[in-house]
Amino acid sequence: MRAVYFPGGGQVDVREAPEPPAPGPGQVLVAMRAAALCGTDVHTYHLPAEALPAYPVIRGHAPAGVVAAVGPNVSNVVVGDRVSIYQYLGCGTCRHCHAGYVMWCAQMQCHGASTDGAFTDLLLTNDRNCLPLPPALSLEVGSLLACTLCTAYQGLTRLAPHGPERLIVFGVGPVGLATVLLAHAMGADVLAVDLSAPRLALAREFGASATINAAEEDVLDRVLALTDGEGADAGVEASGAVVAQQQLIGALRRGGRGCIVGMGSHTPSVNLIQLINKQLTIHASNVAPITAFAPLMELIQRKRLPVDRLITHRFQSVEQASEALRLLETAATGAATFVWS
């Protein structure tokens, strides 16, 4: 089977990989049908080789597919089930695994980062990582659920936006666009900030009532003009940019609350003293606990959210991995996925 590896320094290696072994106890073999790319992939493939694991790992942390084989003691799924796959593998018995925060397990592995991932034909995972998809949700949506949608949803659950509130989203790449869509569905009035006009157009399509192009406008002046001089009640930083982290602090009203979701520069950006005067509450959120998926799938179905429209680009083969990553680097698209026919 063909598989995508990142050797470092902006290189992409697509080559033959051995098929996974037959599933052992509690394991499931899944035939990939959709695998979304993510901002993390763009960041990771540019890392220097020494910053990546010494052993080769098949990339892709947003898998969805059809169960092809199950090992002994598997009770969650049967062959033929359509599943989204949770990216973090844990021991299944520690307190973090029980709470759903598998990323905190001492034995944590991550598909596409420390163990083989989705950018290939077959993926071996754990029974408990399989999230069966209801009939109304496609496999492409299943791959978006695995990272983009669950990250957006979990960031918003920290803020619990509601009806009369104004919520600002910095950075409307795939996670930011999903945040706009979900926050709008939760009832908030959503403002979106980005440097890309095409992405801001998508944000309006997904429910943003106003957009601010940070390349052309003074962000804080516009936020104050749009919020009766008060600032936004809540905000999500989904770009990872230092300037946007600073603008989030400036854009929140007194007593406001923010959530940091975007990973990017490691440069210190915010003087915490700035939080005191406005008495802000700042959360941080990383992907999602596995417990987030049931309420997220219910929300998408109950509100009939057009989450499939978040995907603006589809690639029919992992051979196109370089092309797909370069497209995402233009920062002008919605989500992109590999799809298997």
Enumerate residues 147-176 that contact Zn ion by CB under 5 A.
147
Residue nearer to Zn ion on the CB measure, 99 or 225: 99
| Contact residue for Zn ion among 33, 35, 40, 67 (CB under 5 A) | 40
* Closer CB to Zn ion, 61 or 253, in the complex: 61
Burial of 223 (0-12, 13-18, 19+ CB in 10 A): buried
**329: number of Cβ within 10 Å:** 14
Q: Pick from 40, 128, 42: which is nearest to 85 by CA?
A: 128
Instruction: Dig out the tokens for 279 from the structure.
Output: 């008495």
Of 218 and 308, which CB lies nearer to Zn ion in the complex structure?
308
Classified as helix, coil or strand, 124 is strand
Distance of closest approach, residue 102 Cβ to Zn ion, in angstroms: 7
Q: Which stretch binds Zn ion (CB under 5 A): 22-30, 88-96, 232-240, 295-303?
A: 88-96
Nearer to Zn ion, 251 or 335 (CB): 335
- How many chain residues are in contact with Zn ion, going by CB under 5 A? 8
Three-class DSSP category at 225: helix
SS3 content of the chain, % helix, strand, coil (to 5): 35, 25, 40
Measure Cα distances from 189 to 168, 210, 227, 244 in Å: 8, 9, 10, 20
Least Cα distance to 170 among 184, 158, 160, 180 occurs for: 180
Q: Scanning residues 90 to 119, which ones bind Zn ion (CB under 5 A)?
A: 90-91, 94, 97, 105
User: Which residue among 12, 28, 34, 38 contacts Zn ion (CB under 5 A)?
Assistant: 38
Give least dist CB 9 to Zn ion, A: 21
Shortest Å distance, C-beta 156 to Zn ion: 16
Considering the complex, what minimum distance in angstroms separates the CB of residue 299 from Zn ion?
Answer: 20
Q: By the criterion CB under 5 A, which residues form the site for Zn ion?
A: 38, 40, 90-91, 94, 97, 105, 147
